[in-house]
């Protein structure tokens, strides 16, 4: 999506207006006399068959094997998930990690919100796709940022990088520590950004990760990356083909949101159990079904964007995990629908359906992460080589 100066100004104003109205409307800020009761424990989620009619046609791989990092398309793996050697090293031997903290008081993009503990929300009786939340309010936060720098990074040179969600991703750093040394990936920086706390609608994490706009990508660009360059003493490329995003659950949908709304910044996306469902809050008239809109309208109705995507979902993944019953909260169906529309628009993508796997399954990630990283970085050439 090309963003003009007028569009950027409008977007900035819309986000300022969002925070202004979010906490001035009685419908959003009034605390009920009796807070909603905490949600009951989640039931076990149903096991979905990867060959269910209506799902994408997929290649069933032999157990304990994974797809080639050069293969596009749909694959079924499992149910045994042996870890890849690159994810099991006990220590980093080819790089180091720099950490620092960011405070909400210093952010122009995210001053901070929180939803009261033990509360959630209720479906709008006039529209089951909307959630009414009365217990979200301004609140400060701190977030930690961790930066992996390989020993082979040449100081002063511009490096490609990958941005991850939900804080320090030791498995990512461990995998890169081996893959870069083995020359299976370019020398790159990895940046793990902590969320602003909480989860789902009404929380800071939900606002950051589930909002369908370029706002979070712009926060990263203007507030996080400059700090990374200063704290870790690195230079980061401005070439979108040398920039990747990744995450699990809402961090996964956030990864695609960043690239979709700002393809001038990111071209490569990696997601585990991506939340391509209706989690956006507050509701947005342009994308009333949140990230479900990706496969419902956005990808089918827009020209193909320069995005390369690797994604995974588990057969025991989330299904109606909260009070919303809008037929847009099945993580498996959402990812299946993603694969279908990506294929129809001829995107380069690899979709892995993992058997015997839960939401953002740790064993599946340990098995597949090195291959996934190799897949999303296929075809990369530094700007000077283009």
Residues 100-156: tens digit of each pLDDT: 999 999 999 999 999 999 999 999 999 999 999 999 999 999 999 999 999 999 999
Quick one: which of 23, 17, 24 has its CA closest to 138? Answer: 23
Residue 15 is predicted with a pLDDT of 45
Per-residue buried b or exposed e for 209-245, using 16+ beta carbons within 10 Å of the residue's own CB: bbbbbbbbbbbbbeebbebbeeebebebbebbbbbbb
Whether residue 9 is predicted with pLDDT greater than 70 in this model: the reply is: no
Report the pLDDT averaged over residues 263-285: 97
Residue 219 is predicted with a pLDDT of 98
The H or E element that residue 142 is part of is strand 142-150
pTM summary value? 0.89
C-alpha angle with apex 111: 110 to 116, nearest 5 degrees?
A: 100
Residue 324 is predicted with a pLDDT of 86
CA-CA distance, 266 to 17, in Å (whole number)? 26
CATH number of 5-35+51-385: 3.40.50.1820
DSSP H helical ranges for the chain:
5-22, 26-29, 170-181, 204-210, 215-219, 225-232, 250-261, 293, 299-301, 331-344, 362-376
Q: Where are the domains of the chain?
A: 5-35+51-385
Mean pLDDT of all residues belonging to the chain: 91
Report the pLDDT averaged over residues 363-375: 98
Residue 386 is predicted with a pLDDT of 57
Rg of the chain over Cα atoms, rounded to whole angstroms, equals: 20
Whether residue 26 is predicted with pLDDT greater than 80 in this model: the reply is: no
């Amino acid at each position: 999506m090309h963003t003009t100066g007028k569009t950027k100004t409008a977007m900035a104003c819309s986000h300022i207006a969002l925070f202004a109205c979010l906490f001035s409307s009685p419908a959003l800020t009034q605390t009920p006399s009796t807070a909603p009761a905490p949600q009951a424990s989640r039931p076990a989620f149903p096991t979905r068959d990867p060959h269910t009619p209506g799902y994408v046609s997929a290649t069933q791989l032999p157990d304990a094997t994974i797809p080639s990092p050069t293969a596009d398309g749909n694959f079924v793996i499992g149910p045994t998930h042996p870890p890849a050697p690159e994810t099991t090293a006990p220590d980093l031997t080819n790089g180091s990690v720099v950490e620092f903290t960011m405070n909400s008081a210093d952010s122009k993009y995210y001053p901070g919100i929180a939803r009261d503990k033990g509360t959630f929300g209720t479906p709008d009786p006039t529209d089951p796709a909307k959630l009414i939340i009365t217990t979200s309010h301004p609140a400060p936060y701190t977030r930690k940022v961790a930066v992996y720098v390989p020993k082979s990074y040449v100081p002063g040179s511009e490096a490609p990088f990958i941005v991850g969600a939900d804080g320090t991703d030791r498995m990512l750093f461990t995998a890169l520590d081996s893959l870069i040394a083995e020359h299976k990936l370019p020398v790159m920086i990895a940046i793990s950004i902590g969320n602003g706390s909480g989860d789902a609608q009404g929380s800071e994490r939900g606002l950051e990760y589930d909002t369908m706009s370029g706002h979070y990508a712009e926060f990263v660009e203007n507030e996080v990356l400059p700090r990374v360059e200063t704290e870790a003493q690195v230079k980061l490329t401005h070439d979108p083909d040398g920039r990747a995003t990744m995450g699990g659950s809402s961090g996964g949908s956030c990864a695609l949101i960043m690239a979709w709304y700002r393809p001038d910044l990111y071209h490569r996306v990696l997601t585990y159990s991506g939340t391509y469902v209706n989690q956006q809050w507050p509701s947005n008239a342009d994308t009333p079904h949140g990230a479900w809109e990706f496969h419902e309208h956005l990808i089918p109705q827009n020209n193909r964007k320069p995005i390369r995507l690797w994604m995974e979902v588990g057969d025991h993944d989330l299904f109606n995990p909260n009070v919303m019953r809008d037929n847009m909260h099945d993580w498996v169906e959402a990812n299946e629908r993603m694969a279908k529309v990506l294929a129809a628009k001829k995107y380069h993508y690899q979709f892995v359906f993992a058997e015997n796997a839960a939401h953002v399954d740790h064993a599946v990630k340990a098995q597949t992460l090195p291959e996934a990283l190799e897949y999303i970085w296929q075809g990369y050439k530094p700007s000077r080589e283009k």
